Structure 1
Amino acid sequence: MTQKRVYLFKEGNANMKNLLGGKGANLAEMTNAGLPVPPGLTITTETCMEYIDNGNQMPAGLMDDVKKALTEVEKQAGKKFGDASNPLLVSVRSGARLSMPGMMETILNLGLNDETIKGVINLTQNERFAYDSYRRFLTMFGSVVLDIERHHFEKELDIIKAEQGVKLDTEVNAEGLKKLIPVYKNIIKEHSGKEFPQDPYTQLQLAIEAVFSSWNIPRAVAYRNHYKIDHRYGTAVNVQTMVFGNMGDDSATGVSFTRNPSTGENEFYGEYLTNAQGEDVVAGIRTPKAISELKIEMPELYKQYVDIAQKLERTYSDVQDMEFTIEKGRLYILQTRNGKRTAAAAVRIAVEMKEEGVITKERAIQLVDPSQLYQLMLPSFDPKAKKSGKLIAQGLNASPGAAVGKIVFDTDEAAERGLAGEKVILVRIETCPDDIHGMIAAQGVLTLRGGMTSHAAVVAKGMGKPCVAGCESLRIDVKNETLTTSDGNVYRKNDVISMDGGTGEIFEGSIATVEPKMDENFEKLFTWADEIKTLLVRANADTPEDAEKAMELGAKGIGLCRTEHMFMAQDRLPVVQRMIIAGTKEARKEALAQLLPMQYQDFKDMFKALKGYPMTIRLLDPPLHEFLPNKDELIAEVATLKALGKDASKQESLLHTVENLSESNPMMGLRGCRLGLTYPEINEMQVRAIFEAACDLKKEGMEVKPEVMIPLIGHVNELKAVRNQLEEVAQQVMQERNIEVDYQFGTMIEIPRAALTADAIADYAEFFSFGTNDLTQMTFGYSRDDAESKFLNNYVEQKILPSNPFETLDQEGVGQLMKIAIEKGQSVRPGIKLGICGEHGGDPESVKFCHRIGLNYVSCSPFRVPVARLAAAQAVLEEKGMKTLVTK
């Protein structure tokens, strides 16, 4: 830990963000550049964590350090803290190393009391300004330091406004504001049991403690969780000389951006208010003016401000979000930071700044947050329409995008109506693989259960389909087909709802959407990214449409084609079920013979869509019971048929099969390669279909590269047996077709034992594809859906885990198994191809880890391909020591 706890602005610089916070470091940099920054001091982020670790107790000697530094600030400002005739007033503001706007606390006008107010009046000859500042300070001190709700203060201000017959705060005269001072002090005494402290140093200490404590208030913790910001960073505290925008019509305060944060257009963008303090701009008490009006109202100050803003943008090589105050015709800069922006704006800004010669292409790549790119590829709601919409529920933002449609509870009905062109939203308690057809046809999916990587979430992401999961405040009445909200409102089948998969919000009725567009800037940025990255990006896709979309978005092949999704199509499911319930191998083969031409066409269409790029095809993986009807539903159906005196033998046979296939823990039961070893004819049919399609296309002159992946290998003997069996089929087909194709056999590494014995497994595998969804489950011993719905969020909030391991790869555990597997695999087969096909393949931090450990490719859902491409380029730059500086 650094020994020095308190720095004057002139003692810091822009490279000290970790210690001084973003705000403190930038204030120091601007001070040293000679810009008009009110003098002040910064208490370090380390001191904040020292305070928190010490049970929210001020570290010994801290206030002595603050007083010593404040003496220097007094000299710079020409005022004295607590002096009755020439008082120094200060602001006390938070400032973390990564911007967290509005999440923590601010106090303005600190240092005012019943004595210093007289000095302010005498110095300014402006009684109204003085009492306006005092009542603002009492409000902020009461709400921030003493946790008194602001409405108690606002209520009394409203009474004064009513008495004076005015509507705006600025219209209340000095006498009215003066009357509020004793009233506000009484509010503080009544609600806190304490007198308002007259001693300025007591005020300052309490304010510093309040800002430190605000690091862990719920909204700040939630913000850090969302943006994956380390909870140990802490916040700095900036104590800065007050300058006042509320001293009259020649004073003002405002916020601006050097470029438009919504569109990225190179225009000065912002708002300001005359005769106001900074909080007024964001509080919406008065309607601010566009910053362009300042050019007319105060032309010389506007020019000075624009010149400073442009200088700061060049200095930081990024768009700046700035706060300023004008006090009696003099401009002051209170803050600058890298501005937040939409994904569309981020791409445009990065490209245009590079083309203007302000930054390099490497810097342009660093300026765009990969996780934001979803916004560019999925429909979004019109912000104005959304703002006026009626929110009816909040769930987990499982898969982004905007969807509007009629409520439908039945999967088959959703599929039928969706395919007929009707816009529907599939609403389920939870989804399973046999809901796939309804999910495909629906505009969006809403589930009451499940987490961020539940079935609904994973499949929806793969399809680029909006999904809200875990919406537990809603209740479904399946029989009456109704959806009831927590406040008792009932929505019925065919009622229209709108859902925002990016925020987890559900709205009543139809909200207007805006279609995404890939523009020239997008293409330029990704051309630069592809020039830099070394990691290939493939996609997880099961249909030609998904494959084509993936190629369009820059994928270089398919890293995971899940054949079970092909089995779930409505025209095949009865045949699949007939195969499962077959009593003999011959009957099973008869059903498989019907499936063969279907699978042949599936693979042929997929290969065509890929235009010569490789495709990794995973053989049948899930347990067979997932293709059969629900056991409870079957029992009910059998009982109903018998009660009606009808033949129930078919349903009873099906029920018997379901019961026989029932498992206590199906995730670890008869699935994957175990299924192939138990019923080898299933895998044989699939491999025959793959190679017949590949051979026929090669005869037509098309390049094809099938990679057959055998799932859930835990022991080398499993792979050896399955590989030998399937190699024979592949050779037989190529002999029959009289043509050779370039192919590989490999396996998923998704069981810890496979990773630990990867050297043995590599003898029989040309490639490893890390199935990190299951590998994470088995390494942690978590059931994904149960963990996310029961305790995982609490684990993250309580800092037991740094993040959800199903969203961001656990590098210390799962990642170590991957490293072991790579090292062991390469020791036997140096050129073994290495990839990842879990959803981690589209998570930026996980992609960067995959680059560092030497994978050849990552594979993710089509709509996450640009995310992975950009993250892969950033990984190369970070490896070279160029830190990615996206604005969280």
Structure 2
Amino acid sequence: MAGAKWVYTFGDGKAEGEAGMKNLLGGKGANLAEMSNLGLPVPPGFTITTEVCTYYYDNGKSFPADLDATVKAALAGMAKLTGKTFGDPANPLLVSVRSGARASMPGMMDTVLNLGLNDVTVAAVATASGDARFAWDSYRRFITMYSNVVLDIDHGHFEEALEDYKERKGLHLDTELSADDWKLLVGKYKDIVRKELGKDFPQDPQEQLWGAVGAVFSSWMNARAIKYRELNSIPASWGTAVNVQSMVFGNMGETSATGVAFTRNPSTGENALYGEFLINAQGEDVVAGIRTPQDITEAAKIEAGSDKPSMEKAMPEAYAELCRIYGILEKHYRDMQDMEFTIQEGKLWMLQTRSGKRTAKAALKIAVELAQEGLISESEAVGRIEPGALDQLLHPTIDPKAERRVLTIGLPASPGAAAGEIVFNSDEAEAAKKAGRKVILVRVETSPEDIHGMHAAEGILTTRGGMTSHAAVVARGMGKPCVSGAGQIRVDYAKGTLSVGPTTLKAGDFITIDGSVGQVLLGEVKMQKPELSGEFGILMGWADKVRHLRVRANAETPEDARTARDFGAEGIGLCRTEHMFFDEDRIQPMREMILAGDDKGRRSALAKLLPMQRQDFVSLFTIMQGLPVTIRLLDPPLHEFLPHTEAEIAVVARALGVTAEQLRHRAAELHEFNPMLGFRGCRLAIAYPEIAEMQARAIFEAAVKAAKETGKPVIPEVMVPLVMGVPEFDLVKSRIDAMAEAVKKETGAELSYQVGTMIELPRACLRAQEIAKTAEFFSFGTNDLTQTALGISRDDAGSFLGSYTARGILASDPFITIDRDGVGELVKIGVERGRKSRPDIKLGICGEHGGDPASVGFCHEVGLDYVSCSPFRVPIARLAAAQAALGEVKAKEG
């Protein structure tokens, strides 16, 4: 990398970089450069590139030899623009050192502010500002932050010293401390460093700078950053940039402030400036939620019922400048922006802009409105929505008829509702999730260390923090409900309790939070399904216009079928008939059939099931109104329908009129060491053809009846499971065809139907050309195809799959995202060979991969006709299919 450019400068209306250089400069650095090029007020600085981060880790955490000289040159450039010199004892330049990856990772990596302060320069800052209190407060903040981030000293030591000092002095608020107080505390803080580290706090600004740069690069590999990347599929190889920027101060009195603003509401998508600010505060105070922030706009202040002045009223000139800038930025970036700013003695400075994280609801509204405003095209709007984020819209909210026993009210930080047991720390939340329990994570305030617990919890509740606190921002990004700033709650971590007035709840008690209105409710409150309309319908309509893949649902109950239709399913791609036999009125004749010793006995039991099966299919055909319905014949091993415990065996034996010993004996006969590869699928239909005949008759009789009742043509697709070659398929198909002929003769009705197979064995993929000569459709069962191709049991893989993905042996969990190189290759073979025999063969997949956006993209690439997934994932698949089609067009154009 000899001759590489390691540093890019910005400031004074120009920059060496621009917005398109995110891979090199990180998101923050690229956008600082872009804002500088736009002539916006940006404190001057420079960005150390992500390539230095790569070098740092490739070379034993060392820096390139020529980096020091380049940084000194950049600091000299900052001196010319600011009139201050880094390290100058009389007129010091103070800087911030911040991370900046190409993908936004809020709060995951480290920051150091006020760097350059020491025992000498603090006096110069006091003289220049005319405010000794401000100077010494800034110095103690710097020592706290630098000691924690760079020197790895727990910040709790400094907080404890501060609280002890205030208690001795009889003070309650930091604002009550004088310059002398802060000066005394600086001495105590330096003593803490000396005690913990065995040496003095560094006084050399150059040593401070390189310590901070190294710490920021090192934070790329801290636990919370690694977890965040894992959750958001951000490669470790990207690295982070480091941004060194001239400090501007929001804590220089009542004409100074700091804040965070969004050009549109990140929770609802409303087209109005949204955000919070704090007067006389430093940059991290708003995000950290240490003090209760104030609203930026007067309208928001009135709506919140706040008694604190809005920025619009308290600082009208700075507010007008912020409005001017946000209008420029949104039009320039053609997207909602998340901005950080500082006002120093009346002048507004922009510290950051980026495309703001938003809820799925807000994302839909913003994308649709930007398209309607002409800033982006309909296709761009479709591409703006992360398909997986739609999951946020597809889950229950609180039933409006449900009783709400309100415990307290906080801020509606992230919409949606969730119920669960109270837990007070992130490790407990993660353990509960693994145990299958739903929990609400309750914290005084969250920090980046809580990322794993927030991911595991159903929702988050905090007693401190505002709408832009860590808890609020991260919860919105995860799509989890969050109530923040519930200040009436008192949390006692040691006792494991939370209290509001006389009411005390303990860990394990149930609560419900409503992140849309900020309520905390006692108990587990009844939920309801969401209703999707408005912007959702508009955007999905745009998506449907461009996608080629059809989207069906896996459904076998009327409720699932109706849900699928509501979410835009274009048919049923998998009806798992075995799910229909576990109801109380059906399991007994099913067991009679299994226990029967001959064909006659089995047929007698199946005759009891026939009318029930027929009505099942009538319901599905009626709901689908002529859309295709693929029905899979009985698939699982028969032992799954038999009782297992001695108590169950005794009850069932009495009901069936057999002895318990007979039942145990039959269960032992059917027991298998590896049921997934045993007596199941088409093997049942071959051994007991009467089962397939009953199901086929039920399907065809239901088709005739539903067609008469609805007036819609019903063309059932009968699917034979688990074939390994054409002999099995043809044998079962002959019994299906015979039943179709029988129903035609009995009813006088014409029947149109198709018989196909589920391809879920590698051999079936290899023999697809032969199978397709008689099979009219293939549906790839990628759940079992993954198990049989990789030799991995889905039920047992949890103990080692995490290690495989962490070590890069597998790119991702193959049961979530299709294994392109293995399973994907088998699907391609099946598609190509199947089409050689039958060019118009209908091809789809029905494993849960059908609702995974990356897998849907693969299905588009290989030319499948449809994907089928669970009803609640149908919108996700529709959007992913549209984005796959748009990606193909873009690739051809580019």
TM-score by length of 2: 0.83
Q: Which residue of 2 aligns with 1:774?
A: 784
Does the 8 A contact of 2:643 with 2:649 survive in 1? no
**1-structure distance, mates of 2:525, 2:17:** 49
Matched, 1:859 2:894: no
Does the 8 A contact of 1:496 with 1:510 survive in 2?
no
2:348 counterpart SS class: strand
Are positions 1:45 and 2:59 aligned together? no
> SS of 2:290's equivalent?
coil
**Distance of aligned partners of 1:141 and 1:531 in 2 relative to their CA distance in 1, 3 Å threshold:** same
Structure 1, unaligned stretches of length 5 or more? 405-443, 445-465, 467-485, 490-494, 884-888
Matches within 5 A, 1:249-328: 249-292=254-297, 293-328=310-345
**In the TM superposition, what is the alpha-carbon distance from 1:637 to its structure 2 partner?**
7.8
Q: Cα 1:30–1:638, aligned 2, differ >3 Å: closer, same or farther?
A: closer
Task: Indicate which of 420, 423, 427 corresponds to 1:391.
Answer: 423
Asked if residue 758 in structure 1 is aligned to residue 772 in structure 2, the reply is no
The match for 1:151 is 156
Q: Secondary structure at the match of 2:609?
A: helix
Contact 2:650 2:660 in 1 (8 A): no
2:5 is the counterpart of 1:4: yes
CA distance in 2, matches of 1:637, 1:663: 24
Please state if 1:223 is matched with 2:233: no
Distance 2:819 2:32 in 1: 37
**8 A contact 1:841–1:860 mirrored in 2:** yes
Deviation at 1:649, TM superposition (A): 5.1
Greater Cα shift, 607-616 or 93-102: 93-102
User: Could you tell me which residue of structure 1 aligns to residue 660 of structure 2?
Assistant: 651
Mapped partners of 1:400, 1:511: distance in 2: 19
1:690 to 681, 696, 699: 699
1:638–1:652 Cα contact (<8 Å) kept: no
Partner of 2:117: 112
Tell whether 2:724 aligns with 1:714.
yes
Tell me if the contact between 2:740 and 2:751 (Cα under 8 Å) persists in the aligned partners. Answer: no
Distance change >3 Å, CA 387–CA 600, structure 1 → 2 = closer
Q: In the superposition, relative to structure 1, how do residues 368 and 510 fare at CA in structure 2: closer, same or farther (>3 Å)?
A: same
- Report how far residue 68 of structure 1 moved: 3.0
Displacement of 1:673 in angstroms is 1.2
- Any idea what SS the aligned residue of 2:836 has? helix
Out of 346, 363, 388, the position equivalent to 1:346 is 363
The residue type equivalent to 1:62 in the other structure is L
One-letter amino acid of the counterpart of residue 568, structure 1? F
Matching residue's letter, 1:31: S
* Aligned pairs, number: 790
Structure 2 residue aligned with 1:247, among 212, 237, 252?
A: 252
SS in 2 for 1:785: coil
Q: 2:633 touches 2:721 (CA, 8 Å); kept in 1?
A: yes
For residue 667 of structure 2, give the secondary structure of its aligned residue in structure 1.
helix
1:40-67 alpha-carbon deviations (Å, 9 max, x no partner): 1112223223322334343444333333
Counterpart code for 1:218 = A
Determine the structure 1 residue equivalent to 2:687. Answer: 678
* Residue of structure 2 in register with 1:184 after alignment: 189
What letter corresponds to residue 731 of structure 1 in structure 2?
E
- Residue 99 of structure 1, CA deviation: 0.9
The alpha-carbon deviation at position 739 of structure 1 amounts to 2.6
Which amino acid counterpart does residue 394 of structure 1 have in structure 2? A
- Residue identity opposite 2:671 in structure 1: S
**Mapped partners of 1:750, 1:99: distance in 2:** 40
> Equivalents in 1 of 2:514, 2:280: separation in Å?
42
- Residue 590 of structure 1 pairs with residue 600 of structure 2: no
% identical equivalent positions:
55
Are 1:739 and 2:740 matched, yes or no?
A: no
- Partners of 2:666 and 2:702 in 1: how far apart? 33
For residue 890 of structure 2, give the secondary structure of its aligned residue in structure 1. coil
Q: CA deviation at 1:357?
A: 2.4
Partner of 2:372: 355
Amino acid across the alignment from 2:731: A
Specify whether residues 686 and 758 from structure 1 end up closer, same or farther in structure 2 by C-alpha distance, changes over 3 A only: same
Which digits, 9 at most, give the CA deviation of each residue in 1:500-519, with x for residues without a partner?
A: 999xxx99833575763323
CA shift in 2, pair 1:647/1:42, >3 Å: closer
| 1:449 alignment partner in structure 2 | none
* C-alpha deviation, 1:779, in angstroms: 2.0
Q: In structure 2, how many angstroms separate the alpha carbons of the residues matched to 1:638 and 1:825?
A: 46
State the AA in 1 paired with 2:347: R
Q: Following TM superposition, by how much is the alpha carbon of 1:397 offset from its aligned partner in structure 2, in angstroms?
A: 6.5
Find the counterpart in structure 2 of residue 519 from structure 1: 533
CA distance in 2, matches of 1:650, 1:228: 56
Residue of structure 2 equivalent to 1:544: 558
Matched residue type, 1:5: W
Amino acid at match of 1:190: K
What is the SS of the residue equivalent to 1:713? coil
Give the TM-score of the pair, scaled to structure 1.
0.84
Mapping of 1:200-211 within 5 angstroms?
200-211=205-216
Runs of 4+ in 1 over 6 A off after TM superposition: 381-389, 396-404, 486-489, 499-502, 635-639
1:792 equivalent in alignment to 2:797: no
Measure how far apart 1:868 and its partner are.
1.0
1:249-306 per-residue CA deviation (whole Å, 9 max, x = no partner) reads 1111000111111111111110001111011112222211101211111111111111
Q: Report if aligned partners of 1:772, 1:838 keep a CA contact under 8 Å in 2.
A: yes
Q: Work out the CA distance in 2 between the residues paired with 1:508 and 1:70.
A: 57
Which residue does 1:481 correspond to in 2?
none
1:34 corresponds in structure 2 to 39
- Determine the structure 1 residue equivalent to 2:462: none
Show CA shifts across 1:699-751 (max 9, x none): 45331121111111222322232223322322332233233332211111211
Q: Which amino acid aligns with 1:708?
A: V
Asked whether the 8 Å contact 2:421–2:438 carries over to 1, the reply is no
1:810 Cα deviation from its structure 2 partner: 1.9
Q: Distance in 2 between matches of 1:258 and 1:572?
A: 58
Q: Distance between the aligned counterparts of 2:790 and 2:5, measured in 1? A: 42
Cα shift readout 1:804-862 (whole Å, capped 9, x = no counterpart): 22112222222222122111212221111111111111111211221122111111111
TM-aligned CA deviation for residue 796 of structure 1: 3.0
Superposed, 1:78-97 pairs within 5 Å as 78-97=83-102
CA contact (8 A) 2:100 2:240 kept: yes
The runs of 5 or more residues in structure 2 that have no matched partner are 298-309, 399-408, 441-457, 459-479, 481-494, 499-507
Deviation, structure 1 residue 108? 0.6
**1:109 alignment partner, SS class:** strand
Q: Where in structure 2 are the equivalents of 1:483-522 lying within 5 Å?
A: 497=510, 509-510=523-524, 516-522=530-536
How far apart, in 1, do the equivalents of 2:291 and 2:509 lie?
A: 36
Match of 1:826 in 2: 835
Deviation of the 1:535 alpha carbon: 1.2
- Matched residue SS, 1:773: helix
Cα distance, 1:635 vs. partner? 7.2
Contact 1:625 1:658 in 2 (8 A): yes
Please give the secondary structure, in 1, of the residue aligned with 2:251.
coil
Equivalent residue of 1:741, what SS? coil
Segment of structure 1 superposing worse, 600-609 or 388-397: 388-397
Post-superposition Cα deviations, 1:493-536, rounded to whole Å, max 9, x if no partner, equal: xx98468999xxx9983357576332322211111111121111
Corresponding residue SS for 1:518: coil
> Corresponding residue for 2:392?
375
Contact 1:389–1:511, Cα closer than 8 Å, also in 2:
no
Quote the Cα distance in structure 2 between the aligned partners of 1:113 and 1:402: 49
Aligned match for 1:813, one of 810, 822, 828: 822
Indicate which of 573, 576, 581 corresponds to 1:559.
573
- Per mean C-alpha deviation after superposition, the further-off stretch among 320-329 and 773-782 is 773-782
Contact 1:379 1:401 in 2 (8 A): no
> Is residue 403–residue 499 contact of structure 1 (8 Å, CA) maintained in 2?
no
Higher relative contact order (CA 8 A, sep 6+): 1
2:184 is the alignment partner of 1:167? no
